[in-house]
Every structure is written in C-alpha cells, then in structure tokens.
Amino acid sequence: MKRALFVLVLVLSIALVGCAGSAKSDTIKVGWFGALTGDQAVWGENEFNTVKMLFEEYNNAGGIEVGGKKYKLEAIGYDNKGDAQEAVNVVKRLTGQDKVVAILGPNASGNAIPIAPVLEQAKVPDIATVATNPKVTVLDGKVKPYNFRVCFIDPYQGAVAAGYAYDRLNDSKAAILYDVSDDYSQGLREFFKANFEKKGGTIVADESFNGGDVDFRPQLSKIKAANPDIIFMPYFFKEVALSANQARELGIKTTLMGGDGWPSDQLISMGGKSVEGSYFVNHLDYADPAVQDYKARYKAKYGKETELNGYLVHDAVLLLVAGLQKAGKVNGEALAKALEGIQVQGITGMINISPETHNPEGKDAAIIKIVDGQYVFQEKYAAK
C-alpha cells in the first residue's frame, strides 16, 4: 500500500512538473533595458511602458503564433541607469539568469555598443531603439551578428542636418557645441561637420563640453565671437535647454539646431523661449496619421503623452514579433537570422533590415521646428 501510494505521488509530481514546464514553454521571455533613473529616465519609462502595453495587447488577443503554436509574451525590464558598465551587467542578467529570447533597447548608443560580446556569447539578439551611432551594429567594417536597430544612424542624421541648414536655411557659417564624453554627440558632430563643409559651408567654431557640465558660457562666448549663422547642438534635451538659455542670456540670437536627442516635453518646459524657432532632425512627424492610434492608446493607459522613444520601441516590438514568426521557432539564434533582410511596416516608416548593416536602410528623416512651444513638422528631408 505504501509502495502504491509512493508511486502515485511520484506520478503526480512528474505530471505537475510536466505541466509547469509546458506552461513555461508557452511564454516567450523578452528583455528590455534602459534608463529608469537619472536625466534620461523619462525616455526609459516611456519605452518600458510601451513594451508592457503592447505585450498586454498581444496577450489579450490570444498571444502570437510561432511555428503553429500560440505563445504569450513576458517583458522583463531592468534599469541600467544610463551607464555603460551597468548595461553590460543587465544584459548578462537577462541572458544568463532570465533566459530571454531577445532584448529590446537601449536608446543610448554608449550603452548599446559594449553589450555585443555578451549577446554573441548567449546567442540572443538585441533590437536598439534610438541608438544611432554606427558602431552599435557595425565595427571595423564587420556587422555584429546579434545587434540590430530600428532607427536611422548618425552619418545619415548628420548629413540631413547639414544639408537642411545649408540648402534650406541658406546658412553658410556654422558653429558646433558638443559633448566630448558621449558617443552619440561625437558621431553627430563628426558627420555634420564633414557634410556641411562638403556642401561649401564653413565651421567657424567647434567647442566641446563634458557630460554633467552645467556652465556653457565659456564655449558660447567663443561661438558668439565667431558670428555663425547657425549653432549645431548634437546632445540631449537637458543640456540643450541649459545651453540655449545661457546662449540667449549672452545675447546670442542665432538659430539653434540639433538631432533626435532633443525632443521631449522637458525641452520645452526647461528651454521655453530660448529654443523657439530652433530646428531638429527627428524620426517621424508627430502629426502623421500613422502614429495617432498608438498615441491615443498610450495616453489612455498611462494618462500622459508618449515620448519619441515610445514610437521607436513600438516598431522594435513589431520587428521582434515578425522575426519570431519568420523564424518559426522560439530561439535567439534563429531569430537573429530571421531579422536579417526582414521588412516590416512600422508607424515610423518602412523598416528594411539590411543583412550587411543590421540597420533599417532608407528611412526618411523629419525636420521639426519649435513654434509657440510646439513641435511643428516642416518636411521629410533626404540627405544628398
């Protein structure tokens, strides 16, 4: 009797373990990481909120079908505090401990570049959102097998900014103020300078600062003395607002211009009139009909407007799902192969992932002007 009871308990235990394993296998774990603390937390929170919202929507609709089987999506997110070493630590945790099939984010190039060796060892692909430095996906002419992104890159963005300033705004003299400690800022500065000079323009001042600086007056005073037609500021919204305020206090009335690190509600609230009339390169037109449904859903769920990052991570999720379905199985290595050459219609445009670069080739850039405290679309502009 005791032996029969023992066998029964053992059979039930095995059955329960089998059920638990089956339930677990019906869930696809996906990692996300970004800044949830610090100056860029507003972007990180927006990204992770969007991922959770979209996963919930997929799950409520019955999940996604991969290889003829339905799966639910589970988001596991961590704060990397905007720090490169913490980014590596977080990715090790996601791939080693949490056993995710893929990772979404980060938005910062400096955090996306150093994670490649961890991804390659784990055979887990990452889809970066707004990380625009070329080194995120390609290093020394060789594509990184597990790094992908949904945004255009700095050479293109810098060329767009330079071309628009020279061809559309008729500016022939430009000054640059950039963050020497940031990969994103350095890259944009490099490509703006090269393309502006190629057009026939002159860089009359080229000044730098270090991340965390709050006093830009010494550099701005030199820029004022150079009398530029436009000042290119390729860095993030907090420093943009601070430097713009100080520029106006010094009597600089020159038009300001930047890249996709600018757009945030905090830029308007902190910069106010100092950033009025400024231009920046962006990934989309906020008034585009294609983005309105997502904007409305996000606001209904979280009670506030989405940031730029939300649009890009939205399309990263679409790319992830399409990649899994193309792969036909829940496997990181197979997913990475499936992402090469894939084409997905996103809300930020058509995403064609090049097998050679892992970048979405041919995406349009949008020129935005700040008018009466609002982001006003000017035109889609292609670098020439």
| Together in a domain, 199 and 272 | yes
Contacts of 345 (CB under 8 A, 6+ apart): 351
168 DSSP assignment: I
- How big is the CA angle at 318 (ends 313 and 82), to the nearest 5 degrees? 20
CATH number of the domain encompassing residue 184: 3.40.50.2300
Predicted pLDDT of residue 24: 47
| Together in a domain, 276 and 298 | no
pLDDT tens-digit readout, 23-67: 345 999 999 999 999 988 999 999 999 999 999 999 999 999 999
Predicted pLDDT of residue 105: 97
| Together in a domain, 255 and 274 | yes
Predicted pLDDT of residue 10: 37
Instruction: Give mean pLDDT, residues 358-379.
Output: 94
Range of the domain at 376: 154-282+366-381
Would residue 236 count as lying in a domain? Answer: yes
353 DSSP assignment: B
Measured between alpha carbons, how far is 244 from 89 in angstroms, rounded to an integer?
A: 35
| Together in a domain, 230 and 370 | yes
DSSP alpha helices (H): ranges in the chain?
Answer: 2-25, 41-60, 84-96, 109-112, 116-122, 154-163, 183-199, 217-226, 237-249, 265-271, 289-302, 308-327, 332-339
Would residue 73 count as lying in a domain? Answer: yes
pLDDT tens-digit readout, 310-321: 999 999 999 999
| Together in a domain, 375 and 326 | no
For the chain, what is the mean pLDDT?
92
Phi and psi of 263, rounded to 5°? -65, 120
Would residue 359 count as lying in a domain? Answer: no
| Together in a domain, 148 and 49 | yes
For the chain, percent of residues with pLDDT exceeding 70:
93
| Together in a domain, 245 and 374 | yes
| Together in a domain, 159 and 146 | no
Would residue 172 count as lying in a domain? Answer: yes
- The secondary structure element, H or E, covering residue 33 is strand 27-34
Measured between alpha carbons, how far is 228 from 11 in angstroms, rounded to an integer?
A: 80
Measured between alpha carbons, how far is 75 from 79 in angstroms, rounded to an integer?
A: 13
- CB atoms near residue 282 (< 10 Å): 23
Q: Is the pLDDT at 173 greater than 70, yes or no?
A: yes
Indicate the number of domains in the chain.
2
| Together in a domain, 47 and 160 | no
| Together in a domain, 249 and 336 | no
Instruction: Give mean pLDDT, residues 116-122.
Output: 98
Would residue 332 count as lying in a domain? Answer: yes
Q: Is the pLDDT at 210 greater than 50, yes or no?
A: yes
Q: Of 82, 90, 138, 133, whose CA–CA distance to 111 is shortest?
A: 82
Would residue 331 count as lying in a domain? Answer: yes
| Together in a domain, 259 and 299 | no
Among 7-16, 170-179, 362-371, the range of highest mean pLDDT: 170-179
Is the distance from CB of 383 to CB of 163 less than 8 angstroms?
Answer: yes
Instruction: Give mean pLDDT, residues 368-381.
Output: 95
Q: Is the pLDDT at 20 greater than 90, yes or no?
A: no
Would residue 1 count as lying in a domain? Answer: no
Would residue 336 count as lying in a domain? Answer: yes
| Together in a domain, 298 and 349 | yes
Predicted pLDDT of residue 25: 55
pTM for the model: 0.82
pLDDT tens-digit readout, 245-287: 999 999 999 999 999 999 988 999 999 999 999 999 999 999 9
